[in-house]
Structure 1
Amino acid sequence: MSFPWARQYEPKNGLTKFLDEKLPLPRLVYNAVGAGYPVPRNLSYFWNFGVLAGFFLVVQIVTGVVLAMHYAANAQVAFATTEHIMRDVNWGWLMRYAHANGASFFFIVVYLHIFRGLFYSSYKAPREMIWLLGVVIFLLMMATAFMGYVLPWGQMSFWGAKVITGLFGAIPLVGEPIQVWLLGGFAPDNAALNRFFSLHFLLPFVIAGVVILHIWALHIPGSSNPTGVEVKSESDTVPFHPYYTAKDGFGLGIALLLYFAMVFFLPNALGHPDNYIEANPLSTPAHIVPEWYFWPFYAILRAFTVDFFFVPAKLMGVIAMFASILLWFFLPWLDKSPVRSGHYRPLFRKFFWFGLIPAMIVLFICGGAPAEEPYVMLSQIATAYYFLHFLVILPIISSVEKPEPLPYSITEAVLGSDKKVVKGENTSPAV
């Protein structure tokens, strides 16, 4: 969005003037994350997670490139090279633990970023493209993380690849050829490992490209805010730098404390011990489970246990698993409420905090639990509510609920209802 009151970049010396004329990178940075980019003045710490996600993406790319220098994508030696990295490469243990736990933290901040977007309806116009690109990023993250989980070639790596690629076999007619094409054979082996390694190395750079588009799309309408009210005047905004660079810096500091605590003191807490056993196609683990960030979708997959007419339960589970993410693409049109922020939507707020959030928590728990009762029944109930919430409840409440009164502007929400302050007429130092 073009704000007439935004500060303009002014080169200070000959070098910056030359760069501004020939390759205006300083101007681009100034207008994107500097004092030249006005941001709503009432952003809370829920708006920190986008920056944190970008930081952990960089961590994953840097540590991944270093690990790739010492890894061999060959089923005969992949597990041994992983141990070689841990034991013989200088600081290799740190790179691997930073990469493995970085993936978990990347998903943590992205999940929080998504739920913030759901509560504050960040998918509504004029920010539909930002949301759609965000969903694309999430799908790419899921694919990248799955392929990365296969690379250590432990027991969970092998059997996870076997189970997940086996899902495509449930698709009628074309499923089995697709599965063979993905693996390069009839079971995970050298061909699959080489393909997954190549794609795992490539996709983070694709994600980085889509992130750039995501940020570009964000800068067209400007950032959303907790009230859902659009910017009306200069008094509604502050420059991104130094206000939000400082705020994001504080949030990043807290995230790094937690991250390094995991890397140095609990590096394997989020992993599975069976993955320290070399892959053995003749020994099936008692309980095959993916990484924790796949658990809710794995629970949805396993929630279907009975065939429905001519549709096998396995195929229904596969469809539901993919549909649980793909339906996010349609949220801008499913939610018809004129109000964005959940703070001013009392009925929506109740269903969000006491319906959707508990359902997601149950799915997380059931996805990591054995496929037995009561977890199967709980995952079925949570799955049913999950789809009902987005496809039925959300469209209905967005049409029938009576929103609470919105503030006149962002400034009113922050400083009160003084009309002079709200309209930017009072320019005294006290304001």
Structure 2
Amino acid sequence: MASTLSRLGNWFNERAPGFMPMYRKHMTEYYAPKNFNLWYYFGSLALLVLVNQIITGIFLTMNYKTSAAEAFNSVEYIMRDVEWGWLIRYMHSTGASLFFVVVFLHMFRGIMYGSFKKPRELVWVLGMLIFLALMAEAFMGYVLPWGNMSFWGAKVIISLFGTIPFIGDTLVQWIMGDYLPADSTLNRFFALHVIALPLVLLLLVVLHLAALHEVGSNNPDGVDVKHGPKGNRWSPDKPTDAIPFHPYYTVKDSFGVGFFLMIAAFIIFFAPTFGGWFLEHDNFTPANNLVTPTHIKPSWYFTPFYAILRMIPSFLGTAVWGVLGMFGAILLLGLLPWIDRGEVRSVRYRGLGFRIGLAVLVISFLALGLVGAGVTAELIPVWFPGADVTTVENAFGRLMVLGYFGFFVFLFIYTHFGFEKTKPVPERVTTHD
């Protein structure tokens, strides 16, 4: 068997001589810091979920109908009559939500440990482009089941472009292909969701990984691994305090994958709707342009940005400021390498102000998610009997908007004008055992 595999390997290498050097560069000879912790699982988990979404999406397209008259029924056909169709559909819908869970945690780790700082600015910007493409992909996929919330969600989100001066109304009709979401909307969203955006996502992921492997991975200490005369135990010319990605981190990531799959399987088999968070109850009824859901809201992973849109009031007779605020909230994340000029990367050694600011950012983001999902509107009458729900919700939501944007303003002033008092940073990563 060993001889046969060796001959096959030689045969392959003779015909694809560039494959093995590429494999070694990105796997066995890619040295990653040896002090990775729990937060470093989420990058590989995001790649895992991306593969799941592509594979399950392929099977779903085999029975889906891109027609306003048949789309909802085709999804019901998949759920009820296609062999294992219910499992494929729930793997895809649960995977969409879990994708954003791991991506949000992956982004938080990058902010916490300063992975956006020099020389990894390009890695961060490519990651933010992946995030934007993922949001577009998720929105278009959300419309395809053609439930009632899908229909009204599409109408509301696409109508946001109507706030653009002069060309807004024309742009809305051009995107929808009609005066209301209809067959043409489904057809173009299906094409973008199934073909165009997955190709963009895959290209950006490859570029993201390639850029990362050019500059090397960051670590919880935010300290670059050392290149010196001592080297490491494997080779004297390799980085100190670093180990080959394969097999060490591929084995470690396999443990994280196993644990993640158990959580995903529990949700798929026992709580696929996740109480209406992963699959809204209104989406189990067909789209109807005459019946508006009680509360129109997007999927949970869009709710923080939707809340920003809602909480910013109209000014000078236009609602464009809310739209600008919503997109600005994402743009500011992409500009972090230039907003934060702190000399220290990791939160472990940064000043107290940065830690408090990061906590405010997280709390504000989560609270905005609750506002956008309508949870606060349900809790206010319970916590504050007799209070005007709209007034209290607007006050709370606008405070959280200030907290979110305030983080970036504070970070710019805090780091550009030298107010940050940092702790001593170690010369080497602190885990050597």
- Whether the TM-score (by the shorter chain) exceeds 0.5 is yes
Does 2:258 match 1:253? yes
Q: Partners of 2:14 and 2:242 in 1: how far apart?
A: 29
Structure 2 match to 1:405: 424
Structure 1 vs Structure 2: percent identity of aligned residues?
A: 45
Q: Using the alignment, how far apart are the partners of 2:259 and 2:317 within structure 1?
A: 48
Shift of 1:373: 4.3
How big is the shift at 1:29? 2.5
In structure 2, the residue corresponding to 1:216 is in which secondary structure? helix
Structure 2 counterpart of 1:65: 58
Partner of 2:231: none
Aligned to 1:303: 311
* Corresponding residue of 1:372: 390
Q: 1:165 aligns to what?
A: 158
Aligned twin of 1:327: 332
Instruction: For residue 243 of structure 2, give the secondary structure of its aligned residue in structure 1.
Output: strand
2:384 corresponds in structure 1 to: none
Conserved 8 A contact 2:94-2:267: yes
1:10-89 matches, cutoff 5 A: 13-23=6-16, 24-33=18-27, 35-89=28-82
Q: Say whether the 8 Å CA contact 1:79–1:152 is kept in structure 2.
A: yes
| 1:148 alignment counterpart | 141
Q: Which runs of 5+ in 1 are unaligned?
A: 1-11, 416-430
Q: Could you tell me how far apart the structure 1 residues matched to 2:395 and 2:268 are?
A: 36
Tell me which residue corresponds to 1:124.
117
Corresponding residue to 1:272 among 265, 280, 285: 280
> SS where residue 284 of structure 1 aligns?
coil
Instruction: Write out per-residue CA displacement over residues 280-310 of structure 1, whole angstroms, 9 at most, x where no aligned residue.
Output: 00111110011110010011010023x32x2
Question: CA-to-partner distance for each residue in 1:53-82, whole Å, 9 max, x for gaps?
Answer: 000000000000100010001001111101
The 2-side partners of 1:165 and 1:251 are apart by 38
Residue 412 of structure 2 is aligned to residue 395 of structure 1: yes
Residue of structure 1 equivalent to 2:381:
none
Deviation at 1:16, TM superposition (A): 2.7
Pick from 219, 234, 238: which aligns with 1:225? 219
State the secondary structure of the residue aligned to 1:186.
coil
Separation (CA, whole Å) in 2 of partners of 1:262 and 1:352:
33
Q: Distance in 2 between matches of 1:46 and 1:297?
A: 24
Distance in structure 2 (CA, Å) of the matches to 1:22 and 1:349: 53
Cα separation, 1, equivalents of 2:189 and 2:55: 18
> Is 1:283 the counterpart of 2:291 in the alignment?
yes
Contact kept, 8 Å, 2:358 with 2:407, in 1: the verdict is no
Q: Give the unaligned 5+ runs of structure 2.
A: 228-238, 378-388
How many residue pairs get aligned? The number is 398
My pick for the range that moved more, 371-380 or 257-266, is 371-380
Helix, strand or coil for the counterpart of 1:187? coil
Equivalent residues of 1:39, 1:240 under 8 A apart: yes
Q: CA deviation at 1:377?
A: 2.0
Selected match of 2:102 from 106, 109, 131: 109
How far apart are the structure 2 equivalents of 1:21 and 1:352? 56
Equivalent residue number for residue 401 of structure 2: 383
Please give the root-mean-square deviation of Cα atoms over the aligned residues, in Å. 1.5
Query: Match for 1:276: what amino acid?
Result: F
* Aligned partner (choices 344, 347, 352) of residue 347 of structure 1: 352
Distance 2:6 2:78 in 1: 48
**2:30/2:244 contact within 8 Å kept:** yes
CA contact (8 A) 1:40 1:223 kept: yes
* Structure 1 residue matching 2:345: 3-state secondary structure: coil
Per the normalisation by structure 1, the TM-score is 0.89
